[in-house]
């Protein structure tokens, strides 16, 4: 055989060529113009042994800057117990990707069922689907749910305090589905109640999307919002930071109809931006409007507990015009990851994670404000572990110096404003070091050198 890793023998190839009426493999590409055919040798590196390839990738990995992370804004540096990776790899869970054949997919179906159960409990909602791509698309799908539920309305309101990345994805979905998206103004870091009431009163709104905590890390007060939405026949959708739901008021307690968000904060590594896992939970009355899969528990012919896909047929995912949504796949591996994380952490562990993040964030915020070089952007608003600060210093300079000193200091969200996050991963020493760096980014020697350069 020409290629030792190809399974087909020469006889196999001849048989296939005879079947399709071709004399050679080149005949299969006869429609490709000759000038487009690549005739040179491929620029491939020399073959390496296993130890050489490992060393090579170690070398590549060493080129990355490993910074102590104080940035959040939708992606959070949480600790994940080492046992999670071991359980994820177990063969009974890593069964078929698409669990249509229940008899050979019990491991996958079981952990998805457990995932649904845990997410429903975490959000306080009655049902959960089998996860989605990420928090952005989950929010966009919730928007489509609201429009489908309203039937004759195609307008959705979204708060300006929702993460801008989520808003952009929602707007993209809306554009190609004929949905009108209007923003509810933000005032002082929170959603304007007056603007919300004015817009919902027009009785042309299918759904309202808000965030908890919001983009600025603030815990907003949504008392009465659900009642007002329902009074005007609209759904209330809450985009949530999953980990925070271990200690803050749940979407169900606010009276929300749909809870969505990203599960990354439940121990999933940041992974340079993905893959993550979106969650979507709702009430029983909306279950047939919910996109994605649902796994249910039942009994087989022998009376043994078993798991199956339920409330939908396989064709729902194939016949586009009949489908609730064209989301056919879910980030199942990540759903498994957060399921194991939640089962290990439990309610007590999740509370401790949030308490540590809260303590660290408030300690850092107080230290920065006390220096006189920073002030809270929204000083009268409660926050959990993420907060915005204003400064007269050059934020680009702070980020550059921070990176040189091994810190990802935060996200610049305005010329004078930076968003900073503290998780349970950050030690007191790290927080103190960051505070010292931000308060006095240029040591005295560096300042003198800069002044000398300016004089010259």
Per-residue pLDDT tens digits for 50-80 = 999 999 999 999 998 889 999 999 999 999 9
What average pLDDT does this structure show over 113-135?
A: 95
Report which secondary-structure segment, H or E, holds 154: none
- Among 391, 411, 387, 390, smallest CA distance to 399 is for 411
CA dist., res. 156 & res. 207, Å (int): 5
In a domain, 333, yes or no: yes
What is the average pLDDT value for the chain, to the nearest integer? Answer: 91
CA dist., res. 172 & res. 6, Å (int): 42
Confidence of residue 276 (pLDDT cuts 50, 70, 90): very high
In a domain, 317, yes or no: yes
Residue 5 has pLDDT above 80, yes or no: no
What average pLDDT does this structure show over 120-138?
A: 95
Residue 436 has pLDDT above 80, yes or no: yes
In a domain, 50, yes or no: no
Same domain, 243 and 156: yes
How do 258-262 and 417-421 pair as beta strands?
Answer: unpaired
| CA atoms within a 13 Å half-sphere pointing along the CA-CB vector of 353 | 25
- Of the residues 326, 341, 356, the one at which a domain ends: 341
C-alpha distances out from residue 68 to 55, 71, 131, 431, Å: 25, 9, 30, 10
If one counts every other C-beta atom within 10 angstroms of the C-beta of residue 404, the result is: 11
Structural domain span for residue 407: 68-77+346-441
Tokens of 390: 């204003």
Same domain, 289 and 429: no
Per-residue pLDDT tens digits for 140-190 = 999 999 999 998 999 999 999 999 999 999 999 999 899 999 999 999 999
Same domain, 359 and 250: no
306 in Cβ contact with 106 (< 8 Å): yes
Same domain, 309 and 403: no
- Of the residues 275, 308, 341, the one at which a domain ends: 341
- Alpha helix (H) residue ranges in 151-243: 164-175, 193-200, 225-231
Q: Return the pLDDT at 1.
A: 45
Indicate which CATH number applies to the domain containing 222. Answer: 3.40.640.10
Per-residue pLDDT tens digits for 21-58 = 999 988 988 899 989 988 898 888 888 999 999 999 99
What is the residue whose two structure tokens read 């399974």? 7
Same domain, 368 and 415: yes
Q: Return the pLDDT at 313.
A: 54
If one counts every other C-beta atom within 10 angstroms of the C-beta of residue 72, the result is: 25
Residue 274 has pLDDT above 90, yes or no: no
- Among 437, 375, 373, 429, smallest CA distance to 403 is for 437
DSSP state of 280: E
In a domain, 7, yes or no: no
C-alpha distances out from residue 225 to 102, 201, 234, 286, Å: 41, 12, 11, 19
What lies within 8 Å, CB to CB, of 241 at 6+ separation is 76, 212, 213, 261, 262, 265
Q: How many domains does the chain have?
A: 2
Same domain, 317 and 370: no
Tokens of 214: 């919001």
Same domain, 209 and 73: no
| CA atoms within a 13 Å half-sphere pointing along the CA-CB vector of 428 | 2
In a domain, 23, yes or no: no
What's the chain's Rg over C-alpha atoms? 27
Instruction: Indicate the pTM of the whole model.
Output: 0.86
Q: Return the pLDDT at 449.
A: 47
Same domain, 137 and 211: yes
Same domain, 161 and 268: yes
What average pLDDT does this structure show over 352-368?
A: 98
C-alpha distances out from residue 391 to 239, 372, 404, 439, 440, Å: 29, 9, 20, 10, 12
CA dist., res. 262 & res. 250, Å (int): 15
Q: Return the pLDDT at 103.
A: 81
Same domain, 244 and 185: yes
In a domain, 18, yes or no: no
What is the residue whose two structure tokens read 């050059």? 394
Confidence of residue 102 (pLDDT cuts 50, 70, 90): confident
In a domain, 398, yes or no: yes
Confidence of residue 359 (pLDDT cuts 50, 70, 90): very high
Same domain, 375 and 431: yes
Per-residue pLDDT tens digits for 331-355 = 788 999 999 999 999 999 999 999 9
In a domain, 12, yes or no: no
Residue 312 has pLDDT above 70, yes or no: no
Indicate which CATH number applies to the domain containing 376. Answer: 3.90.1150.10
- Of the residues 283, 318, 341, the one at which a domain ends: 341
Per-residue pLDDT tens digits for 192-227 = 999 999 999 999 999 999 999 999 999 999 999 999
Tokens of 159: 């708060």
Same domain, 133 and 179: yes
217 in Cβ contact with 421 (< 8 Å): yes
Collapse the DSSP code of 391 into the 3-class scheme (helix H, G, I; strand E, B; otherwise coil) and give the result.
strand
Beta bridge partners of 209: 158, 237
Per-residue pLDDT tens digits for 409-433 = 999 999 999 999 999 999 999 999 9
DSSP 47-71: P--HHHHHHHHHHHHHTS--PEE--
What average pLDDT does this structure show over 298-313?
A: 87
- Among 178, 230, 172, 165, smallest CA distance to 203 is for 230
């Amino acid at each position: 055989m020409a290629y030792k890793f190809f399974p087909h023998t020469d006889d196999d190839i001849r048989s296939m060529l005879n079947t399709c009426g071709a004399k050679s493999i080149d005949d299969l590409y006869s429609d490709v113009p000759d000038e487009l055919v690549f005739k040179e040798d491929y620029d491939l590196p020399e073959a390496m042994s296993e130890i050489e390839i490992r060393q090579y990738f170690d070398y590549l990995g060493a080129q990355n800057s490993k910074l102590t992370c104080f940035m959040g804004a939708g992606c959070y540096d949480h600790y994940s117990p080492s046992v999670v990776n071991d359980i994820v790899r177990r063969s009974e869970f890593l069964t078929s990707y698409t669990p249509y054949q229940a008899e050979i997919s019990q491991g996958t179906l079981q952990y998805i069922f457990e995932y649904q159960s845990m997410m429903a409990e975490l959000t306080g909602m009655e049902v959960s689907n089998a996860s989605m791509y990420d928090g952005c698309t989950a929010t966009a799908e919730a928007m489509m749910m609201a429009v489908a539920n309203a039937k004759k309305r195609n307008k959705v309101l979204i708060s300006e305090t929702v993460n801008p990345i989520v808003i952009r994805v929602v707007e993209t979905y809306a554009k190609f589905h004929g949905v009108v998206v209007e923003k509810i103004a933000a005032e002082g870091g929170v959603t304007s109640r007056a603007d919300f009431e004015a817009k919902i009163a027009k009785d042309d709104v299918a759904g309202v999307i808000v965030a908890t905590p919001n983009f600025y890390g603030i815990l907003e007060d949504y008392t009465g919002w659900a009642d007002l939405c329902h009074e005007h026949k609209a759904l209330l959708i809450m985009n949530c930071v999953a980990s925070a739901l271990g200690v803050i008021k749940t979407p169900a307690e606010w009276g929300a109809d749909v809870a969505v968000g990203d599960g990354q904060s439940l121990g999933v590594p940041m992974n340079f931006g993905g893959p993550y896992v979106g969650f979507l939970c709702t009430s029983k009355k909306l279950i047939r409007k919910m996109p994605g899969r649902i796994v249910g528990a039942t009994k087989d012919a022998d009376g043994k507990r078993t798991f199956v896909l339920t409330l939908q047929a396989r064709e729902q995912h194939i016949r586009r015009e009949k489908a609730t949504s064209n989301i056919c796949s879910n980030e199942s591996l990540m759903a498994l990851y957060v399921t194991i994380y939640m089962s290990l952490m439990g309610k007590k562990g999740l509370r401790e994670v949030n308490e540590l993040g809260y303590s660290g964030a408030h300690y850092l915020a107080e230290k920065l404000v006390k220096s006189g070089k920073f002030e809270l952007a929204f000083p009268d608003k409660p926050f959990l572990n993420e907060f915005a600060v204003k400064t007269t210093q050059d934020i680009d300079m702070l980020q550059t110096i921070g990176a040189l000193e091994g810190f990802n200091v935060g996200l610049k969200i305005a010329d004078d404003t930076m968003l900073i996050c503290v998780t349970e991963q950050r030690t007191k020493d790290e927080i103190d070091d960051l505070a010292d760096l931000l308060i006095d980014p240029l040591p005295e020697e560096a300042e003198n050198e800069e002044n000398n350069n300016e004089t010259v």
